[in-house]
Amino acid sequence: MTAPAAERSLTLEEVGQAQRGSRPDEVVIAVSPAFADPFTKTIVEVPHAEVIRQILAGIEEQGVHARMIKVWDTADLAAVAHIGARLSGSGISVGLLSRGTTMIHQRDLPRLSNLELFPQSPLLDAEVFRLIGSNAAQYAKGESPAPVPTRNDQMARPRWQAKAALLHLKEYECIVAGRRPVEVEPVISRLS
């Protein structure tokens, strides 16, 4: 009954320096320096292609536009997301780190605050990413969606704390200090 999950790849093609958007019905997806290259999946091996595909689907289903940027000079999730929010025409952004940690941000909020935060990257799967995209789009439209339900796992720490630290360090290495954010076109190709 269920079609086998397709394998897809994600390439982020640079379009130019990221500009502030003017259309009020857009959500900016802001990703960290190592996203899609060199990393290709989250800490629990959800492919980045699927992550972006689901977030875009959530936004598209709500009838809202999406624009993607890559942030180069920081790997701090709040900073990445807030940069996206300030460039977004609606003021709403979805920020992502390569390992999957995600947040929905808004341009008038303090940098260390957020609209919704998903701090336990091991607990995020395709379904949750779709809901995140959908909620971001609803915020952009001025609606008030119920926050995406978050799961909690006490044993997440023993299992994932060190791998998360390692992934974070690797991401940090990809930082290019001083480089401005770049607008990118997500190209998702099917491999199977």
Partner 1 sequence: MIVVGVDIGNSTTEACVASVVEGRVEYAGTALTRTTGVKGTPDNTEGAVSAVRRALNGRTPDLVLLNEATPVISGLAMETISETIITESTMIGHNPATPGGSGIGVGTTVSIDALASATGPTIAVVPAGWDFDDVAHEITSSGADVVAAVLAHDDAVLVCNRLRTPIPVVDEVGAVEKVPLGMLAAVEVAPPGRTIRTLSDSYGLASVFGLDPDQTRQVSPVARALTGNRSAVVVRTPSGDVTDRRIPVGTLTLTGAGKTQRVDVDAGAEEIMATLARVQPLDDATGEPGTHVGGMLAQVRDTMTDVTGQPAAEIRIRDVLAVDTVVPNEVRGGLAGEVALENAVALAAMVRTSRSRMQVVADQVAEALGCRAEIGGIEGEMAVRGALTTPGTAIPIAVLDLGGGSTDAALLTSEGSSAVHVARAGELVTKLIDSELALDDREQAEAVKRYPLAKVESFFHVRHEDGTVQFFAEPLPSHVFARVVTMTPEGPAPVQTRHTVDHVRRVRREAKRKVFAVNALRALRQVAPQGSLRLLDFVVLLGGSALDFEIPELIADALAPHGVVCGIGNVHGTEGPRNAVASGLVDAWVSR
Partner 2 sequence: MTTTEGRRSKRTEILEARPVNLDGFVEEWPEKGLVAMESDFDPTPSVRVEDGRIVELDGRARADFDFMDTFIADHALDVETAEEVNAIPSIEIARMLVDPRATRDEVIAVGRGLTPAKILDVVKLMNVVEIMMAMQKMRARRTPANQAHSTSAKDNPIQVAADAAEGALRGFAELETTLGVVRYAPLVAIALQVGGQVGRGGVLTQCALEEATELELGMRGITAYAETISVYGTESVFVDGDDTPWSKTFLAGAYASRGIKMRFTSGTGSEVQMGNAEGRSMLYLEIRCILMAKGAGVQGLQNGSISCIGVPGAVPGGIRAVAAENLIASWMDLECASGNDQSFSHSSMRRVSRALPQLLPGTDFVCSGYSGVPNADNMFAGSNFDVEDYDDWNTIQRDLQVDGGLRHVREPEILQVREKAARALQAVFAELDLPPITDAEVEAAVYAHGSGDYPDRDVLEDLKGAQAVMDRGVTGLDLVKALERTGFHEVAENLLTVLRQRVSGDLLQTSAILTDDFVPLSAINDANDYGGPGSGYRLEGERWEQLKKLRHVTSAENPETEVS
Collect all residues with Cβ–Cβ distance below 8 Å to 5 and sequence separation of at least 6: none
Comparison of 144 and 154: residue with beta carbon closer to partner 1: 144
Q: What is the DSSP letter of 120?
A: -
Phi first, then psi: what are they for 72, rounded to 5°?
Answer: -105, -30
Is 158 an interacting residue with respect to partner 2 (CB under 8 A)?
yes
Instruction: Give the interface segment with partner 2, choosing from 6-14, 31-39, 159-167, 177-185 (CB under 8 A).
Output: 159-167
Region 92-151 residues binding partner 1, contact defined as CB under 8 A: 106, 108-110, 113-115, 130, 134, 139, 142-144, 146
Comparison of 141 and 163: residue with beta carbon closer to partner 1: 141
- How many CB atoms are located within 10 Å of the residue 173 CB? 10
Instruction: Give the interface segment with partner 1, choosing from 1-9, 34-42, 65-73, 157-165 (CB under 8 A).
Output: 1-9
100-122 core/surface letters (b: 16 or more CB in 10 A; e: else): bbbbbbbbeeeeeebbbbbebbb
Please pick, from the candidates 143, 162, 179, 185, the single residue that binds partner 2 as defined by CB under 8 A.
162
Contacts with partner 1 by CB under 8 A lie at: 1-3, 5-6, 57, 60-63, 106, 108-110, 113-115, 130, 134, 139, 142-144, 146
